[in-house]
Amino acid sequence: MGCEGKMNMKDMMGMMSTMMEGCGPEKMTDMMTQCVGAMAQHIPPEKRTDFVLKSVDALMEKGTSGMSESEKKAFLGKVVERIKGRG
């Protein structure tokens, strides 16, 4: 563990690798969304926008990998619809 009881990147990656050994991708996505929900409330409000934008960028890039343009468009439409519904 790093300073102030926080986990450093190496320890976190090791823990995640161990957890993934017994879990499939579906279980990991469930766990990840729960982790983000628990963690986000502890991020200072002034830093949350940057965190969310970085997360959305990564999810959009990796989430649309291998999709056709029409699939990407449908994917983006669903994401935008969800975001607008929360506004």
Q: Quick one: which of 3, 27, 4, 2 has its CA closest to 12?
A: 2
> Which whole number is the average pLDDT over 19-27?
75
Q: Do residues 14 and 49 share a domain?
A: no
* Gap between the terminal Cα atoms of the chain: 38
Q: pTM for the complete prediction?
A: 0.63
> Which whole number is the average pLDDT over 35-60?
91
Position 2 pLDDT exceeds 50: no
> Which whole number is the average pLDDT over 37-54?
91
Question: How far apart, in whole angstroms, are the C-alpha atoms of residue 47 and residue 52?
Answer: 9
Q: Do residues 53 and 78 share a domain?
A: yes
Provide the pLDDT for residue 5: 55
Range of 50's domain? Answer: 44-87
Q: Do residues 38 and 48 share a domain?
A: no
Q: Do residues 68 and 36 share a domain?
A: no
Count of structural domains, the chain: 2
Q: How many residues does the chain have?
A: 87
8-12, 42-46, 64-68: least confident range: 8-12
Provide the pLDDT for residue 3: 41
Q: Do residues 61 and 76 share a domain?
A: yes
